[in-house]
Structure 1
């Protein structure tokens, strides 16, 4: 919720005590549950960012006791209570007025996994089973979605981009039909650097865009054909992410278009479907990578009865505040998402998705940076807001809700630093900027790296669209400069080959799998500590020198920032 009782600056000025400060710490600690404080009192945390403190946070958040940190479960209660208790222990103030929490309304929808897609393909039946052949769900909140004899249309990549003179829906009305499309965007599979952004995914390549566009066009259902290269992850990731409860903001809090049913099909299922319809998927894929592609009717119809349970619930963002000593109405945000995929009761063996790297590391990171700021000899001139958001794994919903209901107005938000999935693989000669080439925050980072004899690099797999897959993106769309820094890959021990091998191993064996667990025997967090120190230094500079960083010229988010950016006179007030 927004602060309404007092103007934000006045509220912060009233809340401040000299040096940031012991009175605030006492008040905050008084609000923390005694049992939660006791549960975290055995470890002696140090003021400086360090490996032992960082690992203590990760070990706790990624423990089985937190059940995989799914929103709307006991794992949420444990997670948000832990974060709030740590914010209080550190000496932050509640960041949402007098409240540590920002309530995020959500709709929890769980599809019946006995649902099957029944296809009539050129007069012959095909059946796709949930999990092995396809996944499907609804964002409408309805408990029963029925589709009967919906005609299938192949629409290439499902992109309508006027500024690129590209429309995969040209010449066809898909109202009531089921659209079938490729993952990623034009140019990717063709290896054409001149088509869209070549290997670098644009927002048109994201599955979220594809489903929204299908909704705008009035389709009854939409199916994306999975391929590991184009998606940048295997089918198991899709299956695990789409199984069990799925979360959305209520429609009133999210104006994006919604389609009655949406899902994915495996590459094998797609090949059987297209072959049965007398179509060559490989040739159609090639045609879809050329300007002027026209949709293709598939001589196939789809029917299904998708039953779901739908419950309205609430989840919570956790917000801690360190008020600025001179301009407390202006704030820098450090952000990480606390949620993960929870526990999957129907799975045999280890069914807890602990999410140690993704994203206990990020939450531990903002806690360590918060401690360093709070215990610094001189408080920052600008406020520092620490934001642990929910529902990232469900479509960046917690950060989307915050951006729509900010506790610090966006035109007073100086910058956002997002921490999501740091790699415990040791020190590196580089750091990764996801979406490198975006904003002047990169200049601050590069200046800091000079003294460390390190360099910044763009992410290895630009085709994966990571820039659009984490919470900073909601701030970016609103115009606030945001930096998404990730671990480096040119390791001190082992070089680039070791870093790349570690990344591939994580994606194959742990990403969105039960194997993403804390392992004291194998984790090397000295590189993470160095990266956190770097993020702290950049934020400290911004907190004290009065800069208002902007997007680079030509960036699509610059216009929004220019419209909100205060004049020098306004910034000084």
Structure 2
């Protein structure tokens, strides 16, 4: 997923902390001094060679379970070996990740009857849908339709969009993002402008399944979704990947999907309802779900099912003094593979997303090895199936090779900027953990600045692999170059990011031509290197800040460690 511009406002305490760190004289993280480190040259040639290979048509877009995966895994092992690292999984370079490959076939129109007029939506252009149930045929016939607002059930907030409603066997229509996403500040019931996990589409499908719905349809709206319909279409109309489960997804909805905003408005109008009014009502606590009385939904499709064993790639640089304490570098190697053709090009190469982050693992590994073993072990983890819902990182977090209680923290790298060198950097989820003190010191060394994320409503914190570890309590930091470019300033940086989102993100044009300059990502790699090195040279165990949602999980995991 695209990571720039980023999301979440900073707390006042973090602003003062950053100011303190800027002096770079005995910087503290909690009660421990942050070690001084030097930053060596990091190989531009490695970045260009690895990105060039991974983003070539030969690698077929790096979809899990394909020849593109085999070539990707082989290349990474070769490069980690050459860098002088060791295999990270008990003598193996890889960790098996069991996946189920699902491809929808013979998809019927999504039809609604019982309103003023029948409504038939075309697959791809009007709606997309797939199933989390591993079964060969999906059929939803004459299912009652209910509007459930934002589809949130948050007892701690006294909020339940399903209150008093039994949706078993029904089709629920859901709004994307949180109820207060239009707020100007990151304050409010659901963090205001800064999206919470309740606003993300995976949560909405999860909750619909818990409620027993037959189908869950999210209404696409470009601004709160953070991307256009073209991204939904390219991401949901090809082969999908699921985590293998013992019950084959029997507890999931039969169908999950998206519908175009205009079609949703037409559907509600045919049911005698005002969509815009109901959308406004859904923003208020106490909203009650609304049935589209008499309206029935029908949809059917076949599933082509294959079980595949994908791979996480794991390399380690053992620590010299405390090898049983681990610092993580993570990036996802996968992309969408072969996708809907645009101008005859049907390969989604994923150069920016995320050949850049994967290549960064290799380049930083080389530099760390040349600098000599740090006190703690450095783990370089290239994970699979991020594009399918963070499946590879979730599998590792559920089945860690190195104990999470002994994992100090780490750095996630995803979709590095190809816009050029920036004066600033943006932290995803700023204000969450003590790792930011390490970054602040590195930023001061490089004479750059940390700024707040300009689009917190897009919820990037919940959209990359660091989230899988955060849920388990492991502090992870995730940052990128900002928009204030050395050449062209903020206007140029914003224009580049917007053009990438509109024209290249999850499209065949995310190829090498998307990288207009290597200067920015190479400058950012210096920060990634420094933060990891600092963590590997300190004796501290940085934590989530007091009151953070992940603090409890970390405190519990560290008991007796």
Q: TM-score, normalising length from structure 1?
A: 0.88
1:399-444 per-position Cα deviation (integer Å, ceiling 9, x unaligned): 0000011010000101121000001111111111111111111111
1:321 correspondence with 2:323: no
How far apart are 1:200 and its partner, in Å? Answer: 0.8
1:216 aligns with 2:197: no
Work out whether 1:108 is the aligned partner of 2:101. yes
Aligned partner of 1:477 in structure 2 is 471
When normalised by structure 2's length, the TM-score is 0.90
For residues 251 and 331 of structure 2, the distance between their equivalents in structure 1, rounded to whole angstroms, comes to 27
Matched residue SS, 1:561: helix
Match of 1:68 in 2: 61
1:85 lines up with 2:112 in the alignment: no
Offset of residue 189 of structure 1? 4.0
Aligned with residue 361 of structure 1, among 332, 340, 356? 356
Q: Distance in 2 between the 1:189 and 1:122 partners?
A: 31
Shift, 1:556, TM fit: 0.6
Q: Which residue of 1 aligns with 2:423?
A: 429
**Which of these residues, 221, 243, 246, is aligned with residue 249 of structure 1?**
243
Aligned residues: 520
Provide the residue aligned with 2:24 in structure 1.
none
For residue 416 of structure 1, give the secondary structure of its aligned residue in structure 2: strand
1:124 CA drift (Å): 3.0
Task: State yes or no: 1:170 paired with 2:163.
Answer: yes
User: What is residue 49 of structure 2 aligned with on the other side?
Assistant: 56
CA distance, structure 1, for counterparts of residue 249 and residue 203 of structure 2:
13
CA distance in 1, matches of 2:251, 2:178: 20
Cα offsets for 1:447-499 (capped at 9, x unmatched): 12112221122322111111000000000000000001112111111111111
Structure 1: gaps spanning 5 or more residues: 1-46
Q: What residue number does 1:265 align with?
A: 259
> Would you say the 8 A contact 1:436–1:457 is kept in 2?
no
Distance 1:566 1:92, change over 3 A: farther
For the pair 1:311 / 2:306, whether they are aligned, the reply is yes
Contact 1:433-1:456 at 8 Å conserved across structures: yes
Structure 2 equivalent of residue 7 of structure 1: none
Q: Evaluate the alpha carbon distance shift between residue 425 and residue 342 of structure 1 in structure 2; reply closer, same or farther with a 3 A threshold.
A: same
Contact 2:410–2:532 (Cα < 8 Å) also in 1: no
Q: What CA distance in whole angstroms lies between the structure 2 residues aligned with 1:191 and 1:545?
A: 39
Task: Say if 1:365 and 1:564 are closer, same or farther in 2 by CA, change over 3 A.
Answer: same
Using the alignment, how far apart are the partners of 1:346 and 1:516 within structure 2?
Answer: 13
Which stretch shows the higher mean deviation, 86-95 or 472-481? 86-95
Q: State the match for 1:4 in structure 2.
A: none
For the pair 1:463 / 2:457, whether they are aligned, the reply is yes
Distance 2:106 2:128 in 1: 8
Q: Is the CA contact 1:133–1:265 (under 8 Å) kept in the aligned structure 2?
A: yes
Q: Does 1:283 align with 2:258?
A: no
Aligned-partner Cα distance in 2 for 1:256–1:168: 24
| SS, match of residue 375 in structure 1 | helix
Q: Deviations over 1:250-292 (max 9, x none)?
A: 1239999521111000011111111111111100000001111
Alpha carbons of 1:564 and 1:117: their partners in 2 closer, same or farther (altered >3 Å)?
same
- The 1:345/1:230 distance shift into structure 2, 3 A limit, reads closer
Q: Distance in 2 between the 1:359 and 1:218 partners?
A: 35
> What residue in structure 2 maps to residue 11 of structure 1?
none
